[in-house]
Structure 1
């Protein structure tokens, strides 16, 4: 099949219905559910890359489901790789769900029931690939669907980098090149499934553990946002604020304290890394979401036992120079320092700061 582009929905009202129609035609039959948010403007386009179908949409609140009835009418044998280019999408399949954010790939088996939902405006890219081209067992696919894949490395990182560029260039790709690209993408997705299936062989997390892990990752990705709050985190993961707080009762820290601690840790790491050439403490604090210098100073002292300026001065004091009393903890002889001399103050990440004697 040649590479081509088709505009499935032009900008206008009722975009969610147009997206549902395009998804039903290009991916698998789905049902649109009214979220009661009124009409939205949007656009959806599709491209063929050989036997790979690429669909991209941009619209507001949207919920699509595929149930037993539509599966009975359609014998399609395919999987879908979902990657939000902007915004957040919630997917669910096989009794589990995941909140998939911008740049995160996720897999859906189109042969089984699933749902895709976005509460706010989002731009989403979906690739449909035939299962037989992946050469992976059914059990392997079932173990990796409906999981948000943080692209820290491996195939997930590669796909998160390549696919947005491919989506932008697809309309200009000649047919022969499109067929080759479709084959390359299929091989990458097959490698991703193999990689995830190996990881799935490790002890499985419970649903609660997966949710807590996902929330912690969400917090780390949004530390710089001053508006990060329990309410926003709960909404992004489709749980109530009360349930969110209950989840973290067993973690030994409240959600608010976790956000504050992680921000302080990142501030301390940045200040220590840049040393004397670092920007002002207030600039670093603002960059990591602190609204006031006073709040940051109190939070920093609660974590490290020093006010930020005091901590920075102590960290920059040579180990053999004046003012060494009361500084942050030193390393111990024999633990990576063969000379037996003090290694100087500890960095926020636990590593020793090297010092130079006169």
Structure 2
């Protein structure tokens, strides 16, 4: 399953490979469901009664996984019941349709996908994904927190195909395809660093769509602002992330930095604080973070004072961090909070 360039370079991708070819015909449907569920989250799968074939390769890119799937026509359904029963659904999938056709339904969107288009879906919400014919997809499966997007920002891009003819699509589609083909050939840190480029471009896409800019040709100032916002998202954990440091890193004046954010009706400091609060809120609700203190979570996302963090958290969400963690623990699959004010 490694691509030709990878083979020619003598690189052997690490990872796992699954195929229905070695499975008795009567067990193929069950086997394929299990393989897809292990990779993309528990799904109900509908496939034709006739012979079914499929292959799936997964390779690591640090905490991100590259996945290539070749299969016959099928439909996968991820329901609220399956989500509630999943132990690990806190992931987002970025999927490129290499061949075939697809239909994706999520967040009240129903879109048809053509070869060369990519789309994003959230494993934490119901999904229907249909492939009416033989297909190939290349995907990145990444932890939700890697995108550093709020719920509303993420919903801006789910089930909304991005054409390779658009500026961002022209960058993302070929890059993601090549990255998945070579996943598993990089050292862990290198692989994850390379995958971050896809994550950064998706972050830019979410902020662009959230701003209501649908022209596809944002101004130079808008492009610069999106790039700076992506930079901030990557450095949220740095307690020294100040407007001065941001301006210096992006080679602009402090005055111009403030002017860029004024067009959004928000200050630089307020935008940073909002993103940090969203990350803390998400982490406090996660089961695997139950053993971390609230102060540790706050510190991880750049808050230097636990008392200050508690005050701004309550101001934004109307409850203390401890109250939020308790409520999320009682109802771990249905909790929600409004975006930070």
Q: TM-score, normalised by structure 2?
A: 0.54
Q: Alignment partner for residue 182 of structure 1, among 163, 177, 195?
A: 195
Alpha-carbon distance between aligned partners in 1 of 2:28 and 2:73, rounded to the nearest angstrom: 10
Check the 8 A contact 1:89/1:118 in 2, yes or no: yes
Check the 8 A contact 1:16/1:60 in 2, yes or no: no
Q: Alignment partner for residue 73 of structure 2, among 49, 53, 61?
A: 61
Alpha-carbon distance between aligned partners in 1 of 2:123 and 2:158, rounded to the nearest angstrom: 10
1:43 maps to 55
2:162 maps to 149
1:100 maps to 113
Check the 8 A contact 1:66/1:113 in 2, yes or no: yes
Q: How does 1:274-313 map to 2 (within 5 A)?
A: none
Check the 8 A contact 1:33/1:62 in 2, yes or no: yes
SS in 2 for 1:103: coil
What do residues 283-330 of structure 1 show as CA deviations (whole Å, max 9, x unaligned)?
A: xxxxxxxxxxxxxxxxxxxxxxxxxxxxxxxxxxxxxxxxxxxxxxxx
Question: Quick one: structure 1 residues 30 and 181, their matched pair in 2 at CA, closer, same or farther if it must change by over 3 Å?
Answer: same
The alpha carbon displacement at 1:157 in A equals 1.8
SS in 1 for 2:17: strand
1:298 maps to none
Question: Quick one: structure 1 residues 43 and 92, their matched pair in 2 at CA, closer, same or farther if it must change by over 3 Å?
Answer: same
Question: Quick one: structure 1 residues 128 and 164, their matched pair in 2 at CA, closer, same or farther if it must change by over 3 Å?
Answer: same
Structure with larger RCO (C-alpha < 8 A, sep 6+): 2
Which blocks of at least 5 consecutive residues in structure 1 are unaligned? 203-358
Q: Alignment partner for residue 135 of structure 1, among 140, 148, 153?
A: 148
Question: Quick one: structure 1 residues 18 and 160, their matched pair in 2 at CA, closer, same or farther if it must change by over 3 Å?
Answer: farther
1:82 maps to 95
Check the 8 A contact 2:90/2:124 in 1, yes or no: yes
Q: Alignment partner for residue 30 of structure 1, among 25, 43, 47?
A: 43
The alpha carbon displacement at 1:10 in A equals 5.1
Over the residues paired in the alignment, what is the CA RMSD in angstroms? 2.3
Matched length? 199
SS in 1 for 2:53: coil
What do residues 166-207 of structure 1 show as CA deviations (whole Å, max 9, x unaligned)?
A: 1222242233321222333322222222233234789xxxxx
Which blocks of at least 5 consecutive residues in structure 2 are unaligned? 1-12, 216-341
Q: Alignment partner for residue 109 of structure 1, among 119, 122, 129?
A: 122
Alpha-carbon distance between aligned partners in 2 of 1:176 and 1:71, rounded to the nearest angstrom: 31
Check the 8 A contact 2:60/2:66 in 1, yes or no: yes
Alpha-carbon distance between aligned partners in 1 of 2:140 and 2:63, rounded to the nearest angstrom: 10
Alpha-carbon distance between aligned partners in 1 of 2:202 and 2:28, rounded to the nearest angstrom: 29
SS in 1 for 2:103: strand
Check the 8 A contact 2:89/2:123 in 1, yes or no: yes
Q: How does 1:205-354 map to 2 (within 5 A)?
A: none
SS in 2 for 1:183: helix
Question: Quick one: structure 1 residues 76 and 87, their matched pair in 2 at CA, closer, same or farther if it must change by over 3 Å?
Answer: same
SS in 1 for 2:164: coil
Question: Quick one: structure 1 residues 96 and 166, their matched pair in 2 at CA, closer, same or farther if it must change by over 3 Å?
Answer: same
